[in-house]
Structure 1
Amino acid sequence: MQVAELDLDDLDDDATPGPGVLALRPGPGGPAVTAGEVFVLVRVRGRPVGTMTATVPEGADPAEALAAHARARCTPRSAPSAQPAAAPPPRTSVVVGTREGADRLARTLDSLLAQDHPDFEVVVVDNAPVTDATRDLLALTYPDRVRYVREPVPGLAIAHNRGVASARGEVLAFTDDDVIADPQWLTALSTPFVEDPRIGCVTGLILPARLTTPAQVLLESHGGFAKGFSPRTYDPARPPEDEPLFPFTAGRFGSGANMAFRADTLRAAGGFDPATGTGTPARGGDDLYAFAAVLADGHRLRYTPDALVWHHHREGLQDLRNQAYGYGAGLTAYLTALVVRRPALLPVLLACVPRGLAHARAMTAHRDGGDGLPGEHGGGGHPWPRALSRLERRGMLAGPLGYARARHRVRGLPLPWESREER
């Protein structure tokens, strides 16, 4: 399935197709759009408003065919006019954790260095490297443009904490070595910190860069990493009525491939729990813990779809199995981390247990679907295999023990920004 971006002047059904199409672009690095199935990000004057799938007939103009489909499928509306920020976006540091990822890191760095943000730096944290490939890539291709930091202890949260210690920005943005950032990503992700001083964290939209294998299609068919196309602010002073498990369903807030924090807020919250995350027995949950910790400290979290990155989903079915298990393990590992590091939250968490169990069963249930391809996020065009549901639940059972093992391994590890060396 092809991936494309369609930018329209509006979604008015009465508009003529030609003048209303501002641009049709392939997904990042992809070939020009041709006849066949296409997964489309629909924009209105540059702003993301939804996704759809459509078939471009043989001989048809792809832009006109997709524009007609978008106007028939999407609710007619115009994108809100972008309001100029009261002040320029703050000085921002982008932290990219990587481990033996030099083969894919270059495309990520190229997209980061093309950002329209006026004042930022890029820091690559090389986590427990086995070779010098990442260091050599930065020295040869990005001298004086990307800072290299080495973290010898394995674990994504530990790498991120090293990045927190090394970064110089007022805002700390995090992404992965398998994404391509939209040129406006960093500005959109950092501007909310200027608009609202109570915001401690901002997350953004994640869409697939490729849909070329069954595993990629299956993941995106059931929502992928996207959290929708409506901006939302989560305020601990006003818990959302439609989130009865707030703030423990942190997976709804965003994902680690597209997140930013006010630097002082993240450091005051203790950073990322080093016993969570990829590369540890906990398997994940480092981003979820940070979201919940910032909210527990009274700060707001904002989700904005204007901050977009394109993610290269894993290609193989075994990778998807590992992801399913890791999602389950990371979820309960992060909840365990909250109880261990913030015991005052335990009574609130216990009160949520009955609803939480029901939520976990629903989240990991076998989900039927047709034989179609992914459409709107969460539409479930493909059935979610029972084997993956079982793996998620097995991961949930293993998460607390994995966290305990990981915590034992990092016992006594100081926060790097509190050490004299980093100061």
Structure 2
Amino acid sequence: MRAAAGALSVAVSTRDRVEGLARCLDAVLAGSMLPAELVVIDQSDGDGTAAMLERRQWPVPFRYARRPPTGLSASRNAALTTATTVALAVTDDDCVPDPDWVATLAGAFDTDRGLAAVTGRVLPLGPPVAGRHAVSSRTSGVAREFGGRVSPWLVGTGANFAVRRSAALAIGGYDERLGVGSLGGAGEDLDLQDRLLAHGGRIRYEPGALVYHERQEWGRRLASRTSYGHGVGACCGLRLRRRDLFAVPMLTSWVVLRGRVLAAGLLSRRPAALHEEWLVLRGTLSGLAYGFRAAGVSPVTERP
């Protein structure tokens, strides 16, 4: 029997992706180390997900919560308060974790008790397929540690993220104004990582923690680019509203980065790349306006 990672739970947020969720959970349970517990937060409209989960047998404690479809951040917050372990690893229902994913994340927290969070690599799932495109890739094989504020898109992505629960709960958890299913559209992972760093936390990028992300058809990829830009803009707008001066270098570095990608597309005469960058920048502007005017939300609190 593979030893369980006593300090680490795995949580997956899902909405009407029965097959994808089953594939993700199968990969977690087939890994070289089992998590201490599995958490599924189900925001599905139908009952197919619940029925699939009821039919399964679990080699580790399994915690299930059905929630209204109020967005990814609300689901992540539910996972933070449902889990019982020191650390919580999250991924998405269109991802497949590598066999050593749990072991790598658990090892990072075990060897560094002061670590707030760990991120890792994200690679496309399966071989290239015509008409389907990689999303959320993070390919660097070089480990890196972040302490102090940096542009949060350098740190990691929410599809491959583990956090010390006490650190996340101490700063209010995920901001429910952001993320898929909210008006913010995306950016909940960037926001949480930046707030962890702003409160003195350290985050490690660990390339050995690897998940594979399902490729998307072109229309979904374009929509995700708009949403991603909107989320980054919203993060900056929220910070501007509360007079956080880091919003200025954060927004500046983002615009410079997108400008470089736009210039590369012009030089290489790639219309598709130019169109993508236009969508990202347009999303950034709309997100900036949204973030600046967004109403507040109450922070998540630790359960009794």
Deviation for aligned residue 1:355: 4.7
Structure 1 match to 2:190 = 288
Q: How far off is 1:215 after superposition?
A: 3.7
Instruction: Write the distance in 2 (CA, Å) between the matches of 1:268 and 1:330.
Output: 23
Return the alpha-carbon distance in structure 1 between the equivalents of residues 50 and 109 of structure 2.
32
Output the amino acid matched with 2:8. T
Q: How high is the sequence identity, in percent, across the aligned residues?
A: 28
**Residue 229 (1) aligns with residue 130 (2):** no
Q: Aligned partners of 1:334, 1:142: CA distance in 2, in Å?
A: 40
Give the AA of the match of 2:116: G
CA shift, 1:141, in A, is: 2.3
How do 1:124-139 residues align onto structure 2 when only pairs under 5 Å count? 124-127=40-43, 129-139=44-54
Cα distance in 2 between the residues matched to 1:94 and 1:144: 13
Is the partner of 2:158 in helix, strand or coil? coil
Within the candidate set 103, 111, 129, 1:212 is matched to 129
User: What are the equivalent positions in structure 2 for 1:63-212 lying under 5 Å apart?
Assistant: 90-117=6-33, 119-127=35-43, 129-142=44-57, 146-210=62-126, 211-212=128-129
**Residue 335 (structure 1) aligned with residue 227 (structure 2):** no
Find the counterpart in structure 2 of residue 349 from structure 1: 247
Q: Counterparts of 2:26 and 2:249 in 1: how far apart (Å)?
A: 47
1:402–1:351 distance in 2 versus 1, CA, 3 Å: closer
Tell me whether 351-360 or 190-199 shows the greater mean CA deviation.
351-360
Inter-CA distance 396–169: structure 2 relative to 1 (3 Å threshold): same
1:351/1:107 Cα in 2 relative to 1: closer, same or farther (>3 Å)? Answer: closer
Distance 1:281 1:306, change over 3 A: same
> For residues 136-175 of structure 1, what are the alpha-carbon distances to aligned partners after superposition, in whole Å with 9 as ceiling and x for unaligned?
1100124675321112151101100001010011011000
What are structure 2's unaligned runs of at least 5 residues? none
8 Å Cα contact 1:277-1:283 kept in structure 2: yes
The corresponding residue for 1:307 is 209
CA contact (8 A) 2:239 2:247 kept: no
User: 1:62 aligns to what?
Assistant: none
Q: Shift of the alpha carbon at 1:235?
A: 1.7
Q: Aligned AA for 1:324?
A: R
Q: Secondary structure at the residue paired with 1:206?
A: strand
User: May I ask how many residue pairs the two structures share in their alignment?
Assistant: 299
| TM-superposed deviation, 1:364 | 4.8
Distance 1:275 1:404, change over 3 A: farther
What letter is aligned with 2:283?
Answer: G
Letter in structure 2 aligned against 1:212: V
Residue 362 of structure 1 corresponds to which residue in structure 2? 260
Provide the TM-score with structure 2 as the length reference: 0.89
Cα deviations by residue, 1:309-342 (Å, 9 ceiling, x for unpaired): 111121x2111110110111111112223445xx
- Aligned partners of 1:351, 1:369: CA distance in 2, in Å? 27
Within 2, Cα distance between the matches of 1:160 and 1:399?
21
Q: Using the alignment, how far apart are the partners of 2:221 and 2:16 within structure 1?
A: 20
Q: 1:208 to 1:184 in 2, by over 3 A?
A: same
Q: SS state of the match for residue 116, structure 2?
A: strand
- Structure-1 residue corresponding to 2:175: 273
Give unpaired runs (5+ residues) of structure 1. 1-87, 237-245, 372-381
Larger relative contact order, structure 1 or 2 (CA cutoff 8 Å, min sep 6): 2
- Residue range with higher mean Cα deviation, 226-235 or 139-148: 139-148
In 2, Cα distance between equivalents of 1:132 and 1:413: 30
Change (3 A) 1:400 1:351: closer
2:260 maps to a residue whose letter is A
RMSD of aligned Cα (Å) = 2.6
Partner AA of 2:277 in structure 1: S
CA distance 1:368–1:213, shift in 2 (3 Å): farther
Deviation at 1:269, TM superposition (A): 1.6
Distance in 2 (alpha carbons) for counterparts of 1:144 and 1:323: 35
Q: Which residue in the other structure is 1:44 paired with?
A: none
Equivalent residue letter for 2:141: F
Write the deviation string for residues 14-67 of structure 1: whole angstroms up to 9, x where unpaired: xxxxxxxxxxxxxxxxxxxxxxxxxxxxxxxxxxxxxxxxxxxxxxxxxxxxxx
Deviations 1:96-139 (A, max 9, x none): 01111113111101011122235521101012x21111111100
Which residue in 1 is equivalent to 2:276?
A: 388
Letter in 2 for 1:358: V
